[in-house]
Amino acid sequence: MISSRRAIPVLGVAFFVVFVYTVSTLSQQWRRMPQAVGLGDMVTTPSSSPLSYQNSSKVPEHSDREPYAPQPHYVSGIPKPPGSTYTKTLVVPQAGTEDTEWIQFELPEWQPAVYVVDDPSAPLHPPKNKGHEVIVYLSYIIEHYEKLPDIIAFMHSHQYAWHNDDLFDGNAADMLRRLNPARVVREGYMNLRCTWSPGCPDWLHPGTLEENEQKQEETMLARSWGEIFPDDPIPDVLAQPCCAQFVVSRERILATPKARFVYYRDWILRTELSDYISGRIWEYLWHVVFTGQNVVCPKEHVCYCDGYGICFGGEEGYNEFRNLHKVKGDLEEALKEWRGQAETIEIERLMGTLGEESHVTVPDPGRDIELEDQIVQKELLIGAMLRNATVRGEDPKARALEVGRPWKEGDGF
């Protein structure tokens, strides 16, 4: 038997060996995990990813780090045969007394999913009112992941808004009535706004250090990117048309595991960023999630033609239409200026101060009538071009030709 005096050193050596082995094992495990630094900055070893499109960050050719999660596999969908019906849901947030009844009256073919953000007793509500529409969009996906319709539109609750395209007079109902489900299924993801400005072709730069009042979220993007997409290098630019309104197919949502959407929502819930900034950050992340690309800026005339059946015969025809709008806008500004000058003179006349010493600009007599006539003529031309574009959009062959897609007999809208 070993005496107790000799057993003590032996036990000490054995304990030391076990201790060193345990520390070494844990150290190797922790080295494989992203480490939080400062206020949440993530130090990671980036892995090869489809999201590195247009990124400047270099990815090591050989990395032994396991990815945070497998990348989604994005594939083009196959639209249903012409004349088929698509199941469609419109997801919107609602707060306070915001009106959402327009959905059931204007869009009977769309199933509404109205999430009341400030009423926990409502049938549909997010876990917390944070991140603006983001928490609602993600909550719907998580809660309906196993029973999604063919296509899902995510929009703000108001029917009329400046960020709804002017071709539809800002009317969200008109946009969705004209929406082409076949494009949604084929592309998987479609921004409901076709007009590039604001958002395209080069909008947010995550590495920017100087704050821009119009893009307050820009300086926070680098840190947030590392938390939301820990596997992917920070991109040089993020761009898509504004303003967090889009439509996506069921297959495209299902390409991403449900757990990842839960992770995204958890980020919204736990981030120290404000409700406003966290929501703005996600405005330029949806296309990344659903396409794997950092820049998604389809040509406007293609978006209108294939997405809404409004085809101007090509980019040249569309540019002519937009130029008419610009000329009309310039004429309206000139008329506004003329009327302002005329009003100033009338005020001075009524006050008895109009005289040779008055420093006022006298508008050209009759110029207002001339401007009004020119505006009417431009409106007539714009209306005619829009009607012709709508008729042209009813022809599937013309649509395919304009967007550069092969066409065959029997292709649907």
Q: What is the mean pLDDT of the chain?
A: 83
- Res 406: pLDDT: 81
pLDDT value of residue 48: 32
- Whether 249 shows a pLDDT value over 80: the answer reads yes
Is the separation of the CB atoms in 292 and 74 below 8 Å?
Answer: yes
pLDDT cut 90: percent of the chain above it: 61
Beta strand ranges found along 76-225 (DSSP E)? 88-94, 111-116, 151-154, 189-191
Cα R_g (the chain), whole angstroms: 29
pLDDT at 356 > cutoff 70: no
> 69 pLDDT band (50/70/90 cuts)?
low
Is-above-0.85 flag for pTM? no
- Decide if pLDDT at 258 tops 60: yes
Neighbours of 332 (CB within 10 A): 15
For residue 52, what pLDDT is reported?
A: 34
Nearest to 191 by CA among 203, 175, 174, 177: 175
Model confidence at 40, pLDDT cuts 50, 70, 90, reads very low
Region 228-256: mean pLDDT is: 94
Instruction: Give the per-residue pLDDT at 127.
Output: 96
Q: Give residue-wise pLDDT tens across range 104-160.
A: 999 999 999 999 999 999 999 999 999 999 999 999 999 999 999 999 999 999 999
In the chain, domain spans: 88-298, 315-403
Rounded to whole angstroms, how far apart are CA atoms 237 and 201?
Answer: 9
Asked whether 328 and 375 are in contact (CB, 8 A), the reply is yes
Q: Give the pLDDT confidence score for residue 215 in this predicted structure.
A: 72
Rounded-to-integer distance, Cα 195 and Cα 299, Å:
9
Question: Residue 28's pLDDT is what?
Answer: 43
Per-residue confidence (pLDDT) for residue 342, from 0 to 100: 84
Residues in the chain: 413
Q: 114 φ, ψ to 5°?
A: -95, 115
SS (HEC) of 255-285? CCCHHHHHHHHHHHHHCCCCHHHHHHHHHCC
Asked whether residue 49 carries a pLDDT value surpassing 60, the answer given is no
Average pLDDT score over residue span 25-34: 40
Is the pLDDT score of 301 beyond 50?
yes
- Report residue 326 as tokens: 């610009």
274 in Cβ contact with 99 (< 8 Å)? no
Identity at 300, one-letter amino acid code: E
Handedness of CA 383, 385, 386, 387 (dihedral sign): positive
Report residue 219's pLDDT band, with 50, 70 and 90 as the boundaries: confident
For residues 76-90, give the mean pLDDT. 94
Mean pLDDT across the stretch 328-356? 83
Name which of 246-255, 303-312, 359-368 the model is least confident about: 359-368
Find the mean pLDDT for residues 193-217. Answer: 82
Residue with tokens 């060193």: 20
More confident residue, 27 or 393: 393
- Residue 32 or 38, more confident: 32
